[in-house]
Amino acid sequence: MNHKVVWFDVPVLDLKRAINFYSKVLNCSIREEFEGVAVLQHQDEEVAGCLTVDKRIKPSQEGVLLYYNVAGRLADAVSQVEVNGGKVLQAQHSIGPFGERAIVLDSEGNRIALHST
């Protein structure tokens, strides 16, 4: 499969806090590969990315909205947001034939979407 998106970097301020948030919300393993960079679990041709600390780039609520697949566990994922340092901006809601989503702030201040079909 030829993906239009092949990788993403998510800017974070505190790598350990961000690893905790994303591992709980996405229910996946995240491993610090080298100083300041932690890679989200992925296999084969899955699109993946990393959490990265870079003093030149700051987390933001504006800009691109990255959708994370929570594979049928949207309510559980949303329940993990605030207890792990995030904030729910829009509760779980339908996006028509495309499934459901919730819009949240991660533990670092990035606006993200949690998605499930």
> Residue 40's domain is classified under what CATH number?
3.10.180.10
pLDDT of the residue at 46: 85
75 token code pair? 């309510």
For residue 109, being part of any structural domain is answered with yes
Tens digit of each residue's pLDDT (9 = 90 or more) over 29-84: 999 999 999 999 988 888 889 999 999 999 999 989 999 999 999 999 999 999 99
For residue 106, being part of any structural domain is answered with yes
Tens digit of each residue's pLDDT (9 = 90 or more) over 98-112: 999 999 999 999 999
Q: Are strands 87-94 and 100-105 parallel, antiparallel or unpaired?
A: antiparallel
pLDDT of the residue at 7: 92
d(C-alpha 69, C-alpha 45), whole Å: 15
For residue 98, being part of any structural domain is answered with yes
d(C-alpha 47, C-alpha 87), whole Å: 25
For residue 2, being part of any structural domain is answered with no
For residue 1, being part of any structural domain is answered with no
Q: Which residues form the domain of 99? A: 7-116
For residue 64, how many other CB atoms are within 10 A of its CB?
9
For residue 59, being part of any structural domain is answered with yes
